[in-house]
């Protein structure tokens, strides 16, 4: 599904080069729910943004379903973002001037899809994520959890190969976080969605099949859920504690 | 639902941002075009001297206003793009083609630009007409102030529209062409913090301001005086150093905060200071524009006091209340007629004097400006006519005791006369009798001050009685002028008499005397012989009693103190209108920009103020946080703009004559009064903005 090979990314500030991603290599298979964790500044969000090509990478390969998406022309990239990828942002990124329904429709409108099938797909997704009652409301009129579920529905509307989620529970309370994670699990189980999520929240990550732990731009460890969720959560917390350092958010 | 529906829904949601951009564009186009329409109209152009200082000042101030308006429009465009960034970023992240978004954005911008340009250009005519009429209604209405549209002004307006459009589109291209989508997406969240600066930054800024002014104004004057070299126009670029200085000073005031000795004050202002720093770049840019516009408004307002104070000073220090002159070939009003007119108006004439002067051809120096900037001087044996008085005549009217031997002369000067590159007091060496072409060498003795004989155009000299009588013998009547000088009792109450006498003088003047102050019969003859154009010859003076421009344009305009003092506003009406209009343009822009800035601060910081409330800050504390920020926005540009302009004007005054004359001091005092008036204007806008801000943050 997704293969990231020897990925490098650096930033330059005041003529000083900062290597944010160094030789990152991993694979995600169809239907997997994978999380990326790590301390602040470890390169999690940069990794997500380079996979979506929101920011260009310096070196390496990103293969989506076996096809490289690096160096594609603007129009081809737009097609990939519309059809093959779905993105969920930490701060929802819904358009304030459109209703929940219209926001979910957006990727299909952009792709100029059939209106009848689009409306039925959106309605289905609204039912699926329990947001039908708010579909005619504007983002300013709904809660954070509802906004994020709307964003997840929008990410799924075109049945993409992969959903990229950047701290989707970062701005939410625990109850709303739970509903969003449940939305992802449902999408994975019932819609066979593949999800790649950046998170700080060990609890949310414990619902994933696999967790990649990043440190200083490199994959420090890869943890697989082999037993039950509680044990996996303990393992995650233990690993994150190992990271230590002054930037460790998990201590 | 289609993308078009989506765009139109988004547009209606964010319509306020579109309106703000359209409003700003219309405003700047209206301000620039209406001024250009007025300034380039035949009415104004006929009054302004072609290469005179007033014209240069008008262009300079107009330049400042254009820069201010262009910056202000670019600022509005950058805010518009900032508001558009979230929408653009989301659409791109969801797979909309960049080319499609570009097309939509450019179409929107094109529509906005086209609409605002058309509205702005069309509105500029009724607005310039309206302001012209208001000026006529409330201040002065003279015959000269006929409203004409300067169509070239419209062309200027169109060029300005194109320039602004180009700037806006360049900004839009840079905005959309960014490769990092996250940059677009997070544009409106981006803080614009100015890097911390050292404590010397402000001092260096002040030094830059002074050096910029010295380089821009002082060096060209020194270059002419010392090296006879005219600096190229590109040298004006050195003024930019002053603008850099203004930027540095404002950045220092906004960004610099140090605990220093008063740590109490430091902590007291820590919240508003940090709020300002957070949006430092915008704030500094905005305050710079405000400072520049204040410079423009003040520079325009200072023109009138400078001119009026100089005229007033010469009137008040004139030993004669009434004086006029004419060629003796003219059938002008006689002494008896003047007395009978005085009787009619119950005016008592005292110390009535009449003397004659003779016109002789003199040598002179002509300054030539070469293409390479070098100024060369041609000595010419016979350059034109000058007026000569005999010692005895001069002593009789001036009550001075001048003694001169044959072959000597004195140059008559005014209280504030100064030498310049065109004229030195001792230029005269040779006098030629126009009748027999006999020349005589003359020696300069000194200058002698007598204000009534000082008038623009012709220099007047005193020579010995012997020389005077010798020339007089051979001269034709065409070369003899009669000077009438007298005083009256209670001069301020003799306006009606003065007006009737002036009208009578105008009516009796022949067409031959309808010439401007620089007209010279001999220079004209030589020019025509050589097939050259002679500018003052082509200039036709309309000798009618209601023509107020005669005050500046007629060689024989009588100098009646009471009349000139009371009619000065009429006589200078077109100049006044133009400079007041520029000041109005600048003040309007200042008002709108500072008000908008204040509202932006309120909107941007609303959440922060709410958080402060949650932390226990009461309304008084929030009010103080707002006040500290608003005060900086209003006070700093006012101080910077006023100081820079006042200093620059002082430089100009000093540069004109090498010292500051009493009338210039008077002008500077009035200028100070204008600064106070503009400060009051800023205070009123501050009050208005503060009230609005309080409403927005709900305190």
- pLDDT digits over B167-222, tens only? 989 999 998 888 778 878 777 666 667 777 788 889 999 999 999 999 998 898 88
Instruction: Identify whether the C-beta of residue B570 lies closer than 8 Å to the C-beta of residue B141.
Output: no
Least confident span in B214-218, B237-241, B395-399, B416-420: B416-420
Mean pLDDT, residues B385-393: 93
Reported as a single tens digit per residue, the pLDDT across B650-691 is 888 887 777 788 888 888 999 999 999 999 999 999 999 999
- Compute the distance between CA of residue B346 and CA of residue B496 in angstroms, rounded to an integer: 10
Q: How many CB pairs under 8 A join A and B?
A: 82
Question: pLDDT by residue (tens digit) across B243-261?
Answer: 999 999 998 888 876 766 6
Instruction: Determine the Cα–Cα distance for residues B572 and B311; give it in Å rounded to an integer.
Output: 11
CB distance B242 to B292 below 8 Å? no
CA distance B267 to chain A (A): 29
Identify whether the C-beta of residue A32 lies closer than 8 Å to the C-beta of residue A209.
Answer: yes
Q: Is A225 on the interface with B (CB under 8 A)?
A: no
Token pair of B259 as six digits: 């605990």
CB atoms within 10 A of CB A70: 15
Phi, psi dihedrals of residue B218, rounded to the nearest 5°: -70, -45
Q: Which residue has the higher pLDDT, B136 or B482?
A: B482
User: Which are the contacts of B612, defined by CB distance < 8 A and separation ≥ 6?
Assistant: B271, B621, B622, B625
The predicted model gives B41-70 an average pLDDT of 72
CA distance A62 to A68: 6
Supply the angle between the helices B606-614 and B619-657 in degrees, to the nearest 10.
140
Tell me which chain B residues have a C-beta less than 8 angstroms from the C-beta of A79: 95
Q: Does A95 touch chain B (CB under 8 A)?
A: yes
B310/B320 Cα distance (integer angstroms): 17
Q: Which of B121-130, B213-222, B336-345, B368-377 has the lowest mean pLDDT?
A: B368-377
Give the span between the Cα atoms of B631 and B623, in whole angstroms.
Answer: 12
Residue B656, token pair as written in the block: 């004109």
What pLDDT score was predicted for residue A246?
A: 41
Tens of pLDDT, residues A97-108? 899 999 999 999
Burial of B613 (0-12, 13-18, 19+ CB in 10 A): middle
pLDDT interval class at A25 (50, 70, 90): very high
CA dist., res. B538 & res. B533, Å (int): 8
CA–CA dist B38, B134 (Å, integer): 14
Asked if the C-beta of A63 comes within 8 angstroms of chain B's C-beta atoms, the answer is: no
Question: Cα–Cα distance between B75 and A104 in angstroms, integer?
Answer: 34
Here the tokens at position A162 are 């992969």
DSSP 3-state of B498 = helix
For residue B548, what are its two tokens?
A: 């107020």
Mean model confidence pLDDT for chain B: 85
Mean pLDDT of B575-587: 80
Q: Coil, strand or helix: which one is B121?
A: helix
For B591, the token pair is 């008002």
Q: Which of residues B46 and B33 earns the better pLDDT score?
A: B33
pLDDT tens, residue by residue, B602-642: 877 887 888 888 888 888 888 888 888 898 899 999 999 99
Model confidence at B537: pLDDT above 60: no
Residue B303 or residue B559, greater confidence: B559
Asked if residue B325 has pLDDT above 70, the reply is yes
Q: Which residue of B has its CA nearest to A114?
A: B1
Interface test with B, best of A13, A47, A76, A81 (most B CBs within 10 A): A81
pLDDT of residue B539: 65
Whether residue A78 and residue B97 make contact (CB cut-off 8 A), yes or no, is yes
Out of B2, B9, B93, name the one closest to residue A54 (CB).
Answer: B93
Tens digit of pLDDT for each residue in B262-298? Answer: 677 777 777 777 777 777 777 888 888 899 889 988 9
SS3 A18: strand
Between the alpha carbon of residue B574 and those of residues B134, B407, B553, the distances in Å are: 14, 46, 13
Provide the β-strand partners of residue B388.
Answer: B358, B461
* Strand pairing report for A162-166 and A85-88: parallel
Search chain B and give the residue with CA nearest A55.
B180
Q: What is the pLDDT of residue A10?
A: 92
- pLDDT at res. A245: 42
A248: pLDDT confidence band, cut at 50, 70 and 90?
Answer: very low
B179:A56 CB<8 A = yes
Asked if B663 contacts B309 with a C-beta cutoff of 8 angstroms, the reply is yes
Q: Which token pair is B103?
A: 């097309």
Q: Work out the burial of residue A233: count CB atoms within 10 Å of its CB; fewer than 13 is exposed, 13-18 middle, 19 or more buried.
A: middle
Mutate to test the interface with A, among B2, B84, B94 (most CBs of A within 10 A): B94
Contact B4/A at CB under 8 A: no
Q: In angstroms, how far is CA B470 from the centroid of its own chain? A: 49
- Can you give the pLDDT at residue A251? 36
| A87 lies within 8 A of chain B by CB | yes
Those residues whose C-beta lies under 8 Å from the C-beta of residue B140, and which sit 6 or more positions away, are: B569, B570, B573, B576, B577
Give residue B410's pLDDT.
Answer: 94
Q: What is the pLDDT of residue B643?
A: 94
pLDDT of residue B48: 67
Q: Compare CB distances from A105 to B1, B12, B90 and report the shortest one's residue.
A: B1
The CA distance from A214 to A207, in Å, is 18
Is a pLDDT exceeding 80 seen at residue A75?
yes
Q: Are B467 and B441 in contact (CB under 8 A)?
A: no
Which residue of B lies nearest to A106 if distances are taken between CA atoms? B94
Residue A60: which residues within 8 A CB-CB, separation 6 or more? Answer: A4, A5, A6, A7, A8, A23, A24, A70
Q: Using the beta-carbon criterion (under 8 Å), do B180 and A54 form an inter-chain contact?
A: yes
- Would you put residue B228 in left (φ > 0), alpha (ψ -120 to 50) or beta? left
SS3 per-residue string spanning B508-569: HCCHHHCCCCCCCHHHHHHHHHCCCCCHHHHCCCCCCCCCCCHHHHCCCCCEEHHHHHHHHH
CB B498 within 8 Å of CB B535 = no
Using the predicted structure, report yes or no on whether residue A154 has a pLDDT greater than 80.
Answer: yes
With a CB cutoff of 8 Å and minimum separation 6, the contacts of B499 are: B563
DSSP structure class, residue B232: P
pLDDT of A249 reads 46
| pTM exceeds cut of 0.90 | no
Alpha-carbon distance B291 to nearest alpha carbon in chain A (angstroms): 31
pLDDT for residue B37: 85
A153 sits in the region (left: phi over 0; alpha: psi -120 to 50; else beta) called alpha
**What percent of chain A is predicted at pLDDT more than 90?**
47
- Note the pLDDT of residue B357: 93
Q: Which of A159-168, B55-64, B254-263, B480-489 has the highest mean pLDDT?
A: B480-489
What three-state secondary structure class fits A112? coil
Residue B191 has what pLDDT? 67
Of B56, B432, B99, B382, the closest CA to residue B220 belongs to: B56
- CA geometry: angle A152, A157, A162, nearest 5 deg: 70
Decide if pLDDT at A210 tops 90.
yes
First and final CA of chain B: distance in angstroms? 43
- In angstroms, the first-to-last Cα distance of chain A is 34
Residues paired with B431 in a beta bridge: B362, B440
Cβ–Cβ < 8 Å for B515, B326: no
> Quick one: which of B134, B157, B160 has its CA closest to B145?
B134
- Reading the block at residue B211, the tokens are 């050096």
What residues have CB less than 8 Å from B537, skipping those under 6 apart? B519, B524, B527, B528
What domains lie within chain A, and their CATH numbers? Answer: 2-243 (3.40.50.300)
Tokens in use for B461? 């000299």
Identify the band that residue B117 occupies on the pLDDT scale cut at 50, 70 and 90.
very high
Q: In this predicted model, which residue has the larger pLDDT, B536 or B171? A: B171
CA–CA–CA angle B684, B62, B244 (5° rounding): 80
E strands present in B556-595: 559-560
Say yes or no: A107 contacts chain B, CB-CB below 8 A.
yes
pLDDT value of position A247: 39
What is the DSSP-derived secondary structure letter of residue A138? -
Question: How large is the ipTM?
Answer: 0.89
Q: Which residues pair with B369 in a beta bridge?
A: B375
């Amino acid at each position: 599904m997704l293969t990231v090979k020897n990925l490098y990314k650096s930033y330059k500030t005041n003529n000083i080069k900062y290597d944010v991603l160094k030789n990152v290599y991993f694979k995600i298979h169809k239907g997997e729910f994978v999380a990326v964790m790590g301390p602040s500044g470890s390169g999690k969000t940069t990794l997500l943004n380079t996979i979506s090509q929101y920011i260009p990478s310096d070196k390496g390969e990103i293969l989506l379903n076996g096809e490289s998406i690096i160096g594609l022309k603007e129009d081809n990239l737009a097609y990939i973002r519309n059809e093959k990828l779905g993105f969920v942002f930490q701060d929802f990124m819904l358009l304030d001037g459109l209703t929940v329904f219209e926001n979910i429709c957006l990727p299909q409108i952009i792709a100029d899809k059939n209106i009848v099938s689009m409306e039925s797909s959106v309605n289905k997704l609204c039912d699926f994520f329990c947001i039908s009652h708010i579909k005619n409301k504007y983002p300013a009129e709904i809660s954070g959890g509802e906004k994020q579920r709307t964003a997840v529905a929008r990410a799924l509307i075109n049945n993409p190969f992969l959903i990229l989620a950047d701290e989707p529970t970062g701005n939410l309370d625990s109850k709303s976080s739970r509903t969003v994670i449940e939305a992802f699990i449902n999408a994975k189980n019932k819609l066979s969605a593949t999800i790649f999520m950046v998170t700080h929240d060990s609890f949310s990550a414990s619902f994933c099949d696999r967790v990649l732990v990043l440190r200083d731009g490199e994959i420090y460890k890869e943890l697989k859920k082999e037993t039950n969720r509680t044990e996996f959560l303990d393992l995650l917390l233990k690993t994150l504690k190992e990271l230590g350092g002054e930037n460790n958010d998990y201590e | 639902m289609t993308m078009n529906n989506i765009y139109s829904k988004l547009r209606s949601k964010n319509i306020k941002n579109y309106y703000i951009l359209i409003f700003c564009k219309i405003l700047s186009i209206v301000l620039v075009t209406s001024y250009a329409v007025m300034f380039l109209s035949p009415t104004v152009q006929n009054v302004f001297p072609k290469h005179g200082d007033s014209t240069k000042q008008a262009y300079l101030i107009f330049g400042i206003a254009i820069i201010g308006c262009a910056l202000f429009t670019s600022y509005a465009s950058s805010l518009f793009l900032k508001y558009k960034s979230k929408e653009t970023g989301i659409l791109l992240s969801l797979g909309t083609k960049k080319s499609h978004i570009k097309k939509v954005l450019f179409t929107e911008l094109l529509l906005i630009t086209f609409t605002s340009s058309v509205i702005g250009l069309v509105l500029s005519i009724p607005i310039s007409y309206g302001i012209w009429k208001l000026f006529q209604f409330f201040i002065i209405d003279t015959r000269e102030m006929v409203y004409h549209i300067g169509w070239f002004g419209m062309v200027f307006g169109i060029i300005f529209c194109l320039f602004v459009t180009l700037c806006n589109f360049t900004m839009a291209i840079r905005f959309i062409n960014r490769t990092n989508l996250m940059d677009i997406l997070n544009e409106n969240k981006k803080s614009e913090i100015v890097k911390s600066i050292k404590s010397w930054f402000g001092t260096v800024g002040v030094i830059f301001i002074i050096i910029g002014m010295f380089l821009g104004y002082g060096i060209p004057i020194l270059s002419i005086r010392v090296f006879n070299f005219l600096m190229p126009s590109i040298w004006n670029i050195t003024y930019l150093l002053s603008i850099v200085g203004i930027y540095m000073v404002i950045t220092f005031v906004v960004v610099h905060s140090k605990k220093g000795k008063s740590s109490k004050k430091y902590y007291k202002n820590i919240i508003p200071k940090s709020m300002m720093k957070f949006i430092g770049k915008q704030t500094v840019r905005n305050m710079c524009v405000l400072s520049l516009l204040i410079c423009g408004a003040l520079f325009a307002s200072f023109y009138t006091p400078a001119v009026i104070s100089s005229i007033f000073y010469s009137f008040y220090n004139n030993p004669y209340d009434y004086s006029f002159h004419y060629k003796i070939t003219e059938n002008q009003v006689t002494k008896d007629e003047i007395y009978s007119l005085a009787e009619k108006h119950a005016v008592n004439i005292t110390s009535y004097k009449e003397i004659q002067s003779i016109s002789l051809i003199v040598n002179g120096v002509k300054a030539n400006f070469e293409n390479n900037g070098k100024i060369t001087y041609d000595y010419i044996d016979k350059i034109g006519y000058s007026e000569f008085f005999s010692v005895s005549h001069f002593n009789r009217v001036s009550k001075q005791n001048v003694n001169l031997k044959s072959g000597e002369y004195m140059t008559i000067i005014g209280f504030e006369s100064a030498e310049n590159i065109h004229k030195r007091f001792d230029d005269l060496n040779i006098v030629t009798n126009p009748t027999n072409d006999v020349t005589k060498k003359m020696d300069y003795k000194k200058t002698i001050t007598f204000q009534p004989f000082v008038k623009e155009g012709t220099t007047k000299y005193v020579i010995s009685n012997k020389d005077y009588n010798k020339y007089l013998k051979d001269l034709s009547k065409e070369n003899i002028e009669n000077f009438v000088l007298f005083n009256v009792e209670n001069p301020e109450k003799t306006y009606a008499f003065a007006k009737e006498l002036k009208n009578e003088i105008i009516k009796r003047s022949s067409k031959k005397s309808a010439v401007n102050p620089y007209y010279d019969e001999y220079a004209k003859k030589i020019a025509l012989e050589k097939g050259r154009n002679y500018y003052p010859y082509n200039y036709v003076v309309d000798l009618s009693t209601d023509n107020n421009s005669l005050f500046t344009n007629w060689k024989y305009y009588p100098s009646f103190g009471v009349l000139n003092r009371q009619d000065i506003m009429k006589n200078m009406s077109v100049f006044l209108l133009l400079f007041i209009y520029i000041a109005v343009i600048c003040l309007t822009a200042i008002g709108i920009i500072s008000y908008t800035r204040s509202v932006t601060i309120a909107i941007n910081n609303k959440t922060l103020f709410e958080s402060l409330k949650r932390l226990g800050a009461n309304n008084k504390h929030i009010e103080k946080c707002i006040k500290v920020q608003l005060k900086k926005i209003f006070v700093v540009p006012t101080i910077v703009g006023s100081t820079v302009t006042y200093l620059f004007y002082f430089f100009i005054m000093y540069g004109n004559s090498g010292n500051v004359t009493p009338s210039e001091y008077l002008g500077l005092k009035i200028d100070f009064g204008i600064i106070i008036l503009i400060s009051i204007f800023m205070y009123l806008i501050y009050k208005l903005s503060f009230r609005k801000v309080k409403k927005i943050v709900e305190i």
